[in-house]
């Protein structure tokens, strides 16, 4: 009767493997399970897997409890911790108090003022992406968006020119995404990283190539700093010149100063690179698809761009001063990230017993909630699949619970790149949609695939028409 002090939410009576033959249990498709749990048990439900209690939540109040109100009772869940084999102890995978120190070092590179300085570079990269498009010839919009956002992160945050080695980041990331289900499912993979298992060898090679690109970036940056040529406000300079005050066990400053080791810098650089380009790229790719399916929204977007940026010979590129006027463009990007949220789910593990509403859940439980599921819940978003940027007018936003829309997470672990991502999204959409309309070139709709991010499963074939 040791369990009498706990009260678990309703849910599956037996451990998950017992249901292995059910259509809603499929390796690599957790959304099917989430949908089943939500439909059957409501906004909070529970199941067991290998002795661990797993709670699935589809309620904004409970999500706030986990991310904000009771955040100190939680750490990242197992899948994220497992990504340490790729990302080491960077901002995404580290825990307090180390995380907070790292966040303080990186934060100035993401301040609004600093991001404003990135605006012109974002537009420049978007123009180069537009110049690469051959009108009337179908191309893979997902790949083109990856190329654009990789270039933006490389140039703005790391002051790096985009060459083949930077482009190879995309291939290696794709290779690792392909291995993602394997990595997540492999028991104690950390212990087998040196084994000659084919998929582990593939992972090891991709990771080694990523590390060598990042190591080169760091080395070149150090040299440029020594010559006085680096821009000291960019992220890499900040990481390389940072001084961290050592804290004692109680978290108090000791007065002792240390700098980040090369490995620490490498973990942060790789983390920010990977977190910062794949997400935005998917957000953009889905936006172009959704616009192509919703001509009225597309026309309204074009009307805003023409009004703000001019038409014909008077047309000019967006600048920072235009940003506040590109409101509908921002609403389009916001609504796109509702329908297809690039970060489609999040999870935490409790480090002590937790009370959520009437439920008392023992320490060590895993908690999942999903931006994708929240967005597609009729009670929260009527006609949820309809693409309607009017859901993001200032009034509509103010009237909504904050945790009914959290593409960037929330609380102390909220995305550090959020403001950057909005600017990148809005300026990329504005620069490309000013010149082109994009048509979807396949008869069947794209299939979203829930990997670390929500990506189109197959190439997203689209073609461009020049706008008058
Ligand atoms: C549309 C684009 C983006 C989306 C949807 C997104 C989403 C998210 C989410 C949901 C989290 C929180 C994860 C959690 O709490 O478990 C997060 C964290 C993070 N994101 Fe983003 N992100 C985007 C763009 C970016 C960009 C552009 C950068 C950097 C250039 C970035 C860097 C990070 C980092 C470093 C963290 C960890 C922050 C911490 O724990 O202190 N992200 N992101």
Whether residues 213 and 269 fall in one domain: yes
Residue 90 CB–ligand 1 contact under 6 Å: no
- Residue 425 within a domain: yes
- Residue 348 within a domain: no
Residue 415 CB–ligand 1 contact under 6 Å: yes
Q: Give 275 Cα–ligand 1 centroid separation in angstroms.
A: 6
3-state SS assignment for residue 58:
coil
Whether residues 359 and 296 fall in one domain: no
Whether residues 429 and 382 fall in one domain: no
Whether residues 47 and 154 fall in one domain: no
Q: Residue 288 sits in which domain range?
A: 88-343+413-466
Residue 413 CB–ligand 1 contact under 6 Å: yes
Domain total of the chain: 2
Walk along the chain (468 residues) and give the pLDDT tens digit of each residue. Answer: 446 789 999 999 999 999 889 989 987 788 999 999 999 999 999 999 988 999 999 999 999 999 999 999 999 998 888 888 888 889 999 988 888 888 888 888 788 777 888 899 999 999 999 999 999 999 999 999 999 999 999 888 888 777 887 788 888 887 877 777 777 777 777 777 777 777 888 888 888 888 888 888 888 888 888 888 766 667 888 788 777 777 677 777 777 777 788 888 889 988 998 888 899 999 999 999 999 999 999 999 999 999 999 998 889 999 999 999 999 999 999 999 999 999 999 999 999 999 999 999 999 999 999 999 999 999 999 999 999 999 999 999 999 999 999 999 999 999 999 999 999 999 999 999 999 999 999 999 999 998 889 999 999 999 999 997
- Residue 81 within a domain: no
Residue 275 CB–ligand 1 contact under 6 Å: yes
Whether residues 163 and 39 fall in one domain: no
Whether residues 210 and 144 fall in one domain: yes
- Ligand 1 atom closest to 103 (CA): 41
Residue 346 CB–ligand 1 contact under 6 Å: yes
Whether residues 175 and 277 fall in one domain: yes
Whether residues 401 and 298 fall in one domain: no
Whether residues 230 and 304 fall in one domain: yes
Whether residues 381 and 291 fall in one domain: no
- Residue 30 within a domain: yes
Whether residues 213 and 278 fall in one domain: yes
How distant is the alpha carbon of residue 156 from its chain centre?
Answer: 18
Whether residues 323 and 277 fall in one domain: yes
DSSP assignments along 222-276, one per residue:
HHHHHTT-S-TTSHHHHHHT-EEEEE-TTS-EEEEEEEPPHHHHHHHHHHHHHHH
Residue of 76, 411, 417 best suited for mutating to test ligand 1, as the one with most atoms within 8 Å of CB: 417
């Amino acid at each position: 009767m040791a369990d009498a002090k706990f009260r678990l939410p309703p849910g599956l009576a037996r451990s998950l493997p017992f249901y292995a033959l059910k259509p809603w249990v499929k390796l690599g498709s957790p959304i099917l399970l989430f949908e089943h749990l939500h439909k059957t048990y409501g906004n909070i439900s529970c199941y067991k897997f290998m002795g661990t209690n797993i709670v699935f939540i589809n309620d904004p109040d409970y999500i706030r409890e986990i991310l904000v109100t009771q955040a100190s009772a939680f750490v990242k869940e197992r899948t994220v911790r497992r990504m340490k084999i790729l990302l080491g102890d960077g901002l995404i995978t580290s825990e307090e108090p180390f995380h907070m120190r790292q966040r303080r070092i990186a934060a100035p590179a993401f301040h609004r003022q600093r991001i404003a300085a990135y605006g012109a570079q974002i537009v420049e990269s978007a123009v180069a992406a537009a110049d690469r498009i051959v009108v009337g010839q179908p191309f893979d919009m997902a790949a083109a968006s990856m190329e654009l956002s990789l270039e933006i992160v490389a140039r703005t945050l790391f002051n790096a020119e985009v060459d083949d080695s930077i482009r190879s980041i995309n291939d290696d990331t794709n290779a690792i995404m392909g291995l993602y289900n394997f990595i997540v499912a492999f028991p104690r993979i950390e212990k087998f990283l040196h084994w000659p298992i084919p998929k582990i060898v593939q992972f090891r090679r991709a990771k080694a190539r990523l590390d060598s690109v990042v190591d080169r970036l760091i080395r070149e940056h150090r040299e440029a700093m020594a010559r006085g040529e680096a821009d000291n406000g960019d992220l890499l300079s900040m990481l390389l010149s940072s001084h961290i005050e050592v804290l004692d066990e109680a978290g108090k400053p000791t007065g002792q100063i240390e700098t980040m080791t090369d490995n620490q810098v490498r973990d942060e650089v790789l983390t920010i690179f990977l977190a910062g380009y794949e997400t935005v790229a998917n957000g953009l790719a889905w936006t172009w698809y959704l616009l192509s399916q919703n001509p009225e929204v597309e026309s309204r977007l074009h009307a805003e761009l023409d009004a703000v940026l001019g038409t014909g010979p008077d047309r000019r590129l967006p600048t920072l001063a235009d940003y506040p006027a590109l409101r509908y463009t921002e609403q389009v990007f916001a609504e796109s990230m509702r329908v297809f949220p690039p970060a489609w789910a999040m999870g935490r593990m409790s480090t002590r017993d937790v009370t959520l509403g009437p439920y008392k859940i023992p320490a060590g439980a895993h908690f999942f909630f999903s931006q994708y599921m929240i967005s597609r819940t009729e009670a929260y978003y009527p006609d949820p699949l309809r693409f309607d940027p009017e859901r993001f007018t200032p009034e509509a936003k103010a009237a909504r619970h904050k945790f009914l829309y959290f593409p960037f997470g929330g609380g102390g672990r909220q995305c550090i790149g959020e403001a950057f991502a909005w600017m990148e999204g809005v300026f990329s959409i504005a620069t490309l949609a000013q010149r082109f309309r994009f048509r979807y070139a396949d008869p069947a709709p794209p299939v979203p695939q829930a990997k670390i991010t929500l990506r189109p499963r197959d190439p997203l074939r689209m073609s461009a028409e020049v706008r008058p």
